[in-house]
A and B are shown apart, each in its own frame.
Chain A
Amino acid sequence: MREEILRVFSFYFFLGKKSARTRTFFLVSSVSILMALIIRAYQLAGYWTENGQVIFQNFLMVFFLQFLIVLLGLFYGTSILAEEVEGRTMSYITTRPVRRAALITGKYLAYLSLVSIMLISTVLISYLILNLGRDFRLDDIGTVFRYFIILWLGLAAYMSFFNFLGAWLKKPILVGLAFGFGWESIIQYFPGTTQKLSVAHYLKSLLPQYTSSSGKLGFLFIRLEPTKPGLAVLILIAIILVFLILASLIFSYKEYLFEE
């Protein structure tokens, strides 16, 4: 199985690198660099007096965590199967000596890796733009790494869930949009255990608490009743695995028909 997953991974990583969608989303991700430059200009002009770390975390919350990883997860996750159905290329992959579970897992990992590369480069550059200069220390690279791990877990969880939606539903994008930008945006601000029904809750629980109530966008942490970091990581990993297994099961038994 591992060997089959690797074969699929190599094929789709290569295919993904060449796709127009990857170029488009790389550009979308790069908007964060532009935004970081604008914020830095404001900061230098004295309009934004807060610490670079605080600004970056607020920026991370608004752009990366609440928008970019959901968007990337949605479009790449749902496309894992939907693009084969819509592009009518399904027969090329389902008539090869590769188990369907390996097909879906290998393609998921290939797309996750591609998007992770997009993410790490834009997170790192945005962080450096906002923090280079005044009191930047090499230790701060560790902070960027931590941010990146949090975002990566979120991306993997969203992509796994949307991959499941893509395997299950004929038109997954609308349901995905409603979940990613509707449910996720609202439910995380509900008090009590209700907020724990969102992926965003566990991601926010992993962010350093020192900024939770500071910064111009500190209100985004309102009502956060954080889950312990260790448990949050375990729950995110469980989300990734459960939905990946469910998508594999559906793909193994479902027939994908298209108009001819």
Chain B
Amino acid sequence: MTAVIEATSLSRWYGNVLGISDISLEIQPGITALLGPNGAGKSTFMKIITGQLKANLGQVRIYGQKVWNNNQIFHRLGFCPEVDAFYEELNGLEFLSGLLSLYGFRKAECLKLAEQALKIVELQDVKLRPIRSYSRGMRQRLKVAQALAHDPEILILDEPLSGLDPLSKRRLIKLIKELRTKGKTIVVSSHILPEVEAMTSEIILIHHGKILAKGDIYFIRELLDTHPHMIKIKSPQFRELASWLAPEDYILNITFEPESQAVIFETHHRDRFFDRLNELVLNSDLNLEEITSPDDNLQAVFDYLVEK
């Protein structure tokens, strides 16, 4: 299959700071996720493939065409930036129809396409409200709407789920998956593995500007399952919780934090741990206040891969 996006030996640095280094990859239709911790080089890569930055070395082609200063490519490409920035004076409808007018659509067509995009991201009820009054979730969805309003074949979404509440995340993930069924090529970045997992199994692991691994998510899952990681649970019944889970063979270590009424479990089998935790919550009067991962699991996996 011909690659939609083709990057060859891409390198980019900012003064002495490395952005990305020697990245070569081919992206096919469907959803591809760029997974990596903050500062890994995901945004730099996305800015290069959307023609906002130049690579110091290497080249990128979309449908065989160069990207830098090739404005015609943007008829086929939509970009959702990571930053939370808008023309705040406008309302949602004006923002979208204004940006659509830059494609050369007539006014009526701009309004029609803007309305359609607002409907897709479920913002039609607030379309006449100033953007400055939108919640974080609404703003994030509006960013996605401006990327897909002109119905591009390629969507580049930089951290689209960032800052969304769980319900909005689910909606957006559903939308991204629907777009895949329409034959679009979607590149999405994230630093949170479960988010990526919910969207696609095709991932590119990126860390310190380099690609560590490419392939399906099961490979990463296996690494996570063999690599111990920490789960911190805050609960008034933290001691009982520890006693219930201690006999399980996948629990490697337990640490108490009495001052914060929390317990930290170290496990090498995250899925089995959470299955058991769900059972305990359902079958007892266990009251959980907070579940966090003190060490960034993804970061731990990257460190593990780098060492490997």
Cβ of A260 and Cβ of B83 under 8 Å apart? Answer: yes
Contact A95 B54, CB 8 Å, known A89-B87, A257-B14, A260-B83: no
Complex CA–CA separation, A7 to B71 (angstroms)? 14
Contact of B90 among A18, A252, A257 (CB under 8 A): A18
Cβ of B79 and Cβ of A3 under 8 Å apart? Answer: no
Cβ of B52 and Cβ of A91 under 8 Å apart? Answer: yes
Contact A96 B89, CB 8 Å, known A255-B54, A260-B82: no
Q: Considering only CB atoms, which chain A residue lies closest to B47 in the complex?
A: A91
Overall SS of chain A's interface? helix
Q: Which residues of A contact B89 (CB under 8 A)?
A: 15, 18-20
Q: Which residues of A contact B75 (CB under 8 A)?
A: 97
Q: Considering only CB atoms, which chain A residue lies closest to B78 in the complex?
A: A95
Between A87, A95, A255, the greatest number of chain B beta carbons within 10 A of the residue's beta carbon is seen for: A95
Chain A CB within 8 A of B4 CB: no
Interface stretch of the complex, out of B93-101, B180-188, B246-254: B93-101
Chain B CB within 8 A of A100 CB: yes
**How many residues of chain A get a CB closer than 8 Å to chain B's CBs?**
29
**How many residues of chain B get a CB closer than 8 Å to chain A's CBs?**
33
Q: Considering only CB atoms, which chain B residue lies closest to A255 in the complex?
A: B53
Q: Considering only CB atoms, which chain A residue lies closest to B82 in the complex?
A: A260
Chain A CB within 8 A of B59 CB: no
Q: Considering only CB atoms, which chain B residue lies closest to A253 in the complex?
A: B69
Chain B CB within 8 A of A190 CB: no
Cβ of A14 and Cβ of B94 under 8 Å apart? Answer: yes
Chain B CB within 8 A of A41 CB: no
Chain B CB within 8 A of A146 CB: no
Q: Which residues of B contact A11 (CB under 8 A)?
A: 98-99, 101-102
Chain A CB within 8 A of B32 CB: no
Cβ of A91 and Cβ of B71 under 8 Å apart? Answer: no
Chain B CB within 8 A of A92 CB: yes
Cβ of A98 and Cβ of B85 under 8 Å apart? Answer: no
Cβ of A97 and Cβ of B85 under 8 Å apart? Answer: no
Cβ of B53 and Cβ of A96 under 8 Å apart? Answer: no
Complex CA–CA separation, A252 to B103 (angstroms)? 19
Complex CA–CA separation, A151 to B146 (angstroms)? 39
Complex CA–CA separation, A203 to B90 (angstroms)? 37
Q: List 26 A-B contacts (CB under 8 A).
A: A3-B104, A11-B99, A11-B101, A11-B102, A14-B98, A15-B89, A15-B90, A18-B90, A19-B89, A87-B85, A88-B81, A89-B85, A89-B86, A92-B87, A92-B99, A93-B102, A94-B51, A95-B51, A95-B74, A95-B79, A96-B74, A96-B102, A97-B102, A97-B103, A98-B71, A99-B71
Given contacts A88-B83, A92-B146, A95-B79, 13 further A-B contacts (CB under 8 A): A8-B102, A15-B89, A89-B87, A92-B87, A93-B102, A95-B50, A95-B74, A95-B77, A97-B75, A97-B103, A257-B14, A260-B43, A260-B83
